[in-house]
């Protein structure tokens, strides 16, 4: 399920887009100002942003610049500003697409889908590396050095999610929501069990442990000090 952040200060328009995208299977967050949009993106990076330009506080062009400086997520500007100069400003700030109001929801939906497909095509083959661990998302293959690591579907999903947040402590609540797809269960040992499975397979030849437990919080994938790695960590906004 792709997460879309709708940045719109008109409640009726924001709710219209939210309901339409939710009905089509997207997970939708709404921000009513530029500051709130940046804060929400910092808390949880969306897969795509629909961004109005005329916002209170930090305007849409500046939000677009900051988002683009931090991450390569698709940004679709949705605004009543329809001059060529406005479109140039938005696109030069880093937007991937520009839609003017009034708009047809079917067209916006098509543009959202197209932007996400382009992004998936760009990132699907990108290799994730942490120390000597190599993850290939397009084929779901995992290597530890030169050794191929056979993982179940759930083990792979858990490892890839941790790898995409390398160096960050990921809470159990987040892992349950993003990997298992349902709310955190306080008494459940599922995450602990799967982390144990992963460690057993990743460290089968005596390799250093890359998965770190943070007591009472969650888990973090991190290379041991002194090793090199190419983090997939989203840069902060």
pLDDT at 140: 86
Q: Beta strands of 61-215 (E only): which ranges? A: 75-79, 97-100, 128-130, 133-136, 141-144, 147-148, 170-171, 211-214
pLDDT tens digits, 145-179:
999 999 998 899 899 999 989 889 999 888 888 88
The pLDDT of residue 15 is above 90: yes
pLDDT tens digits, 49-81:
999 999 998 999 999 999 988 778 899 999 999
Lowest mean pLDDT among 38-47, 112-121, 128-137, 223-232: 223-232
CATH class entry, domain 128-221: mainly alpha
> In the CATH scheme, what is the code of domain 3-123?
3.40.50.2300
Average pLDDT, the chain: 86
pLDDT at 231: 37
Cα angle vertex 23, ends 21, 26, to 5°?
45
Where do we find the tokens 């792979």? Answer: 156
The pLDDT of residue 225 is above 90: no
Domain boundaries, the chain: 3-123, 128-221
pLDDT at 127: 82
pLDDT band at 233 (very low <50, low <70, confident <90, very high): very low
Interatomic CA distance for residues 69 and 63, integer angstroms: 10
Q: Beta strands of the chain (E only): which ranges? A: 3-7, 27-31, 48-51, 75-79, 97-100, 128-130, 133-136, 141-144, 147-148, 170-171, 211-214, 218-221
pLDDT tens digits, 104-120:
999 999 999 999 888 87
């Amino acid at each position: 399920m792709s997460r879309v952040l709708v940045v719109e200060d008109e409640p009726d328009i924001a709710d219209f887009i939210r309901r339409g995208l939710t009905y089509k299977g997207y997970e939708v967050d709404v921000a009513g100002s530029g500051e709130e949009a940046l804060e929400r993106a910092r808390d949880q990076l969306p897969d795509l942003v629909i961004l109005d330009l005329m916002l209170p506080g930090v305007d849409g062009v500046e939000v677009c610049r900051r988002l683009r400086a931090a991450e390569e997520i698709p940004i679709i500007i949705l605004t009543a500003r329809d001059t060529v100069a406005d479109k140039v400003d938005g696109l030069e700030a880093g937007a991937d697409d520009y839609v003017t109001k009034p708009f047809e929801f079917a067209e916006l939906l098509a543009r959202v889908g197209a932007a996400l497909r382009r992004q998936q095509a760009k990132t699907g083959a990108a290799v994730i590396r942490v120390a000597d661990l190599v993850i290939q998302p397009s084929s779901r293959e995992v290597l530890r050095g030169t050794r191929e690591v056979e993982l179940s579907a759930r083990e792979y999903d858990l490892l890839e999610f941790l790898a995409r947040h390398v160096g960050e402590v990921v809470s159990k609540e987040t892992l349950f929501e993003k990997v298992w797809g349902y709310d955190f269960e306080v008494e459940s040992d599922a995450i602990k069990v799967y982390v144990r499975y992963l460690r057993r397979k990743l460290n089968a030849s005596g390799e250093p442990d890359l998965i770190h437990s943070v007591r009472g919080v969650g888990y973090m994938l991190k290379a041991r000090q002194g090793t090199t790695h190419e983090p997939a960590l989203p840069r902060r906004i």
